[in-house]
Structure 1
Amino acid sequence: MMLDTVAIKNKILELSKRRSIKHGLPFVLFIIGGSFGLREFTALRYQYRQTQQVKNGMENTGLPMKEKSEMSLEAIYKTIEELNTDNWENKRIERPWEEETPKT
């Protein structure tokens, strides 16, 4: 049985003129392809979440990082409570674009 190329070509042209094929098929492909793409991006997020590269890199350069318990809200609040926040003086620093300001 021999395929009739003209009949196949006419059938493809007829299908390509249909609105559901012309607009619906690209939409469906976009939705399905987008779901696969999002799956890959979210997999990257969770794959590298547990890495300790930053912490190890900082310690190798000589900059120690604080522990999570030292950086909690409660620990920071306790250090601020110990400071004397009632008596302070506003000190102005020199701006690079200003000339030397008189000391007051």
Structure 2
Amino acid sequence: MEPAEDITYFRERIEDLSEEITMLAALLDSDIDETIFEIIEEQLLVVGGSFGLREFTQIRYDAQKIQRKKLKDANLSDWKNIRGPRPWENSREYQEQQRTIQRDMQEKGL
């Protein structure tokens, strides 16, 4: 090879390598960007999930507290067990029977 051909060959080879390096750098940048994005996304899920879990847990405890307060305030000494009719019982007959029992109790003063 003559020196001029050597220089042209090396220039073309350098340009080809430069293009390949540019393409690899762009590819690496996109991979790094995707990796960083995935890491940030996972961290947001972990941290956001813990905050969400805390809120839902607090709602549950608040609901239990309200339920306990309702039970505490309820007057259970006047509570009366009222049974509904069974599926095989005629509901109208059962209701009439219950009404007569209530009337009898009111007449007796109980």
For the aligned pair, the TM-score class normalised by the smaller chain equals 0.3 to 0.5
Q: Which has the higher helix share?
A: 2
TM-score, length-scaled by structure 2:
0.33
Q: Which of 1 and 2 has greater Rg? A: 2
TM-score, length-scaled by structure 1:
0.35
